Amino acid sequence: MTLSKADLRPVDWEDGKVKLIDQTRIPDEFVTLEFTDYRDVVRAICTMQVRGAPAIGVAAALGIALGAREIETPDHAEFVRRLEEIAEEFRCTRPTAVNLFWAIHRMLQTARANLNLPMEELRETLVREALDILRDDVEINRRIGRFGAELIHDGDTVLTHCNAGALATAGYGTALGVIRAAAESGKKVEVIADETRPRLQGMKLTAWELRQLGIPVTVITDSMAGWAMSKGMISCVIVGADRIAANGDVANKVGTYSVAVLARAHGIPFYVAAPMSTVDLSVPDGEHIPIEERCPTEVTHIGGTRIAPEGVAVLNPAFDVTPAEYVTAIITERGILRPPYTEALRGLPE
């Protein structure tokens, strides 16, 4: 495997700047953006230059550390007040991926817990905290990969939806991390990637990443998943998650629910790979997960060209919820969880 090429750092910090791989340009171009203004990081999350639940969380953490540098006040209470305003701008970017809110909370907590420090040290502490979140994410993904690889057999073909690879995280990936770990352990594994309408993360990002890794990948349109399953072409499904409710319901890229139901109908295991920071125990079930509604032009236009009749009504929920009953197992950095998830998620040791 040509792993080095895909050892991506999609979100990074260098010389006081936030660095992002512009995911809207892949696969055509590989462009790294550098930001010195936190507002540009806010914009990059909104426009999906950085996307994927863990990557959004890390980008927000680094963005808050960046924002802290422009708060010029000797007064610690005023510093926190202004940091909270910056945090609020990040909170408003995307509503579904809970990693965003988790990372913002961690940054604010760090600020409040270190108000005794001189201002410059406090700002540096926030940079260190954001970098800890980044490094932890890569390590967590590797652990998810090691656990999940046990579920993949030599010769398997895995169906995945959207992109839950290195690009969607601080590195290595969750669902693709599992596939990658299985391949690294010597198993022969192939992937079928749903293209993932409307923004095509499966075709553009997942297929690109897997090709970098040298793992065989075939792209299908989303509507072909049932056909592929009926032909016996799929051994299991592995997807990532944007938020997992306390009962195990999973919000992920729209279309995931259809894949889960199809998998059940064909007796195919449906696995979700996600870090514990994606689990939101404050939300009892999927009904309570806020679902982002995005711009209709994502559906009506392809590459800037309108393909729908002018004025037609459009729905564009970015995510759907897969009820826990369709989820065979949830692969986390603390191990593989099986139903009933209410008990499994609550009972996990720290």
* List 110, 174, 277, 328, residue binding ligand MRU (CB under 6 A): 174
Conformational region of residue 308, where left means phi above 0, alpha means psi within -120 to 50, and beta covers everything else: beta
CB 46 within 8 A of CB 58: no
Round to whole Å and give the CA distance between 180 and 153: 13
Which of 12, 194, 242, 249 is flagged as catalytic? 242
Residue (126 or 249) nearer to ligand MRU, CB: 249
Q: Annotated catalytic, 320? A: no
242 makes contact with ligand MRU (CB under 6 A): yes
Residues within window 246-285 making contact with ligand MRU, judged by CB under 6 A: 252-253
318 makes contact with ligand MRU (CB under 6 A): yes
300 makes contact with ligand MRU (CB under 6 A): no
Burial of 180 (0-12, 13-18, 19+ CB in 10 A): buried
Q: How many CB atoms lie within 10 A of CB 317?
A: 12
Q: Which two tokens stand for residue 55?
A: 């990557």
* List 49, 93, 110, 169, residue binding ligand MRU (CB under 6 A): 169
Residue (168 or 207) nearer to ligand MRU, CB: 168
Q: Which residues of 250-280 are buried (b: 16+ CB within 10 A; e: fewer)?
A: bbbbbbbbbbbebbeebebebbbbbbbbbbb
241 makes contact with ligand MRU (CB under 6 A): yes
Round to whole Å and give the CA distance between 2 and 134: 23
Given the rule CB under 6 A, which of 33-41, 123-131, 167-175, 209-217 is the region that contacts ligand MRU? 167-175
Residue (125 or 258) nearer to ligand MRU, CB: 258
Q: What is the DSSP string of 141-176?
A: HHHHHHHHHTTPPTTEEEEE-S--BGGGSSSSBSHH
Give the nearest distance from C-beta 331 to ligand MRU in angstroms.
Answer: 12
Binding track over 78-117 against ligand MRU, x by CB under 6 A:
-------------------x--------------------
**Positions in the binding site for ligand MRU (CB under 6 A):** 51-54, 97, 162, 164, 168-169, 174, 201, 240-242, 252-253, 318
